Amino acid sequence: MNHATLDDAPAATAKTGRGATDAASRLIDAQGDQIVARSVTINRPASELYAYFRDFAKLPTFMDNVERIDVIDTTRSHWVVKAPAGRTVEWDARITEERDGELIAWTSEDGADVPNSGRIEFKAAGARGTVVTATILYDPPGGVVGKVIAKLFQREPAIQARRDLRRFKQLMETGEIATAARTRAAHEEEIA
């Protein structure tokens, strides 16, 4: 991240396209040219957050658009993700880098419906807990048109990532995910 200007802002907030390039340079087997990066501070120790996240089968608990993740072996998993109009997209993901309590990086394998790669980092933040940063690179399905459609269906990755991280924070800090549902049936419908 060596830029001529004095700018310490994260690459993903750049007004030019350099964010995706920067992120790709930090990934092994980078895939995708659209970038989503979000940080959230969670009032729990990094080790605890890492441990929860590393158990991929649990991720659909707070990742709203992920229908299911099947763990294949220690580094590979199969993702089934909700897409607009009741469809799903699928891919196999492989962990490319892993540091206990600090970071997990992944890439999708050949044949992915939505080629993607990224990393999630856990940095201790003293009395405030841990800063969790997710950086995701992806190729939108069907190019630009696919992204527009996804936006219409509120499954636009940037919005989704922010909401997913909020839910992760809620789950880790409070033991539950906040809902205004008044009945269990309404809640089931909400999370379906």
Partner 1 sequence: MRALTWHGKHDVRVDTVDDPEIVNPRDCIIKVTSTAICGSDLHLYDGYIPTMQAGDILGHEFMGEVVETGPKSTLKKGQRVVVPFTIACGSCYHCGKHQYSACDNGLPADNQDIAQSLYGQPMSGLFGYSHMTGGYAGGQAEYVRVPFSDVGPIVIPDGIDDDKVLFLSDILPTGWQAAEFAQIEPGDTVAVWGCGPVGLFAVQSAFLMGAERVIAIDHFPHRLELAKKFGAETINFEESATYEALMEMTGGIGPDACIDSVGLEAHGFFVDNVLDQIKKSTFLGTDRPHSIRQAILACRKGGRVSMPAVYGGFVDKFPLGAFMEKGLTLKTGQTHVQHYLPGLLNAIVEGKIDTTFLISHRLPLEQAPQGYKMFHDNQNEVTKVVLKPGMTPDAAIAAE
Which residues of this protein are in contact with partner 1, per CB under 8 A?
Answer: 41, 43, 64, 128-129, 159, 162-164, 166-167, 169-170, 173-184, 186-187
Q: Which of helix, strand or coil describes residue 58?
A: helix
Minimum Å gap between C-beta 164 and partner 1 is 8
DSSP bridge pairs for 107: 94, 117
Minimum Å gap between C-beta 162 and partner 1 is 8
Cα-Cα-Cα-Cα torsion 170, 80, 106, 104, nearest 10 degrees, comes to 30
Q: Which of helix, strand or coil describes residue 64?
A: coil
Minimum Å gap between C-beta 35 and partner 1 is 20
Minimum Å gap between C-beta 25 and partner 1 is 30
For 156, the token pair is 């636009």
CB atoms within 10 A of CB 152: 11
Residue whose C-alpha is closest to residue 32's, from 112, 134, 137: 137
Q: Which of helix, strand or coil describes residue 159?
A: helix
Cα-Cα-Cα-Cα torsion 164, 88, 109, 119, nearest 10 degrees, comes to -10
Minimum Å gap between C-beta 130 and partner 1 is 11
Q: With residue 162 as reference, give the H or E element that holds it.
A: helix 157-174
